[in-house]
A and B are shown apart, each in its own frame.
Chain A
């Protein structure tokens, strides 16, 4: 089983890297880029086959290490 985890900055947390990307896109001539927020994507392959147990493990991984919940949100999906 594999977990696809997305980690994003919480609303209200400034994202200077996102702003820099937005400016770069404007500089390349892409019109109408109103905002850019950047984050992380992590894939974790699990030996666990029980979906409930896998979810519990991924939740704990996100809270303990993968995301810093002071500034970041996380979401994930499990795929076979």
Chain B
């Protein structure tokens, strides 16, 4: 059993993709929750999807982070409900303070839309336990503001406490300036909170979850969530 809720903001455009991905991978129906609602139904997992919530006005994710539903998302996240933020959802998590840092304009100033390689640096957390440590996976990115920034002290703390989930790398897992597609500090593509139950990532796992889409590396995010929830119930 997995009760997942996807939050729909005005301007979200990956909300139905992630719904389909979760339903096909886990076999359980997903609820869609409108941003103006006051409460998220009881959920084992909340997803903040990709897109351009509120037209990216002011800063990406800034308006969504203050929408009515986010008060309950933040309260539930702080009480332990796992939250996955993909792309714009990652930006919303940073703007709401659930994750540290901020996603800035890509260093190239270009919108980047292509498959990238990621190095998985966590194999124990709610969303990543079905990956192997240092496994290289291929997942697409599609963003203009994915350049992760935090001050040096915060970056050191994230690395020290194992909160870096994914880094941009090449097909062999080498992390370097050459594989840093958007200028992100230390090639960071995804981070978790201290508990590992809140994950924000710029790449889109829901876009490569079955062979018909050209790859399956993204599905383990959702498999991990199902395994984690099932284990917690046992």
Genuine A/B complex: yes
Residues of A within 8 A of B (CB): 13-14, 16-17, 20, 64-66, 68, 70-71
CB-defined contacts of B100 to chain A, threshold 8 Å: 70
Asked whether A17 and B102 contact (CB < 8 A) given A68-B59, A68-B95, A70-B150, the answer is no
CB distance from A11 to the nearest CB of B (A): 12
- Evaluate contact between B105 and A16: CB separation under 8 angstroms: yes
Return the contact of B183 from the options A14, A17, A20, A66 (Cβ within 8 A): A14
CB-defined contacts of B108 to chain A, threshold 8 Å: 16
- Is B104 among interface residues, defined by CB-CB distance under 8 A? yes
- Evaluate contact between A13 and B62: CB separation under 8 angstroms: no
Contact with A along B99-111 (1 / 0, CB 8 A): 0111011111100
CB-defined contacts of B149 to chain A, threshold 8 Å: 13, 70-71
Contact with A along B208-225 (1 / 0, CB 8 A): 000000000000000000
CB-defined contacts of B109 to chain A, threshold 8 Å: 16-17, 20
Interface residues of B in 66-87 (CB under 8 A from A): 66
Asked whether A68 and B107 contact (CB < 8 A) given A13-B149, A14-B183, A16-B183, the answer is no
Alpha-carbon separation in the docked complex, A78 to B150 (Å): 31
Alpha-carbon separation in the docked complex, A65 to B106 (Å): 22
- Evaluate contact between B105 and A71: CB separation under 8 angstroms: no
Smallest CB gap from B63: residue in A: A65
- Is B58 among interface residues, defined by CB-CB distance under 8 A? yes
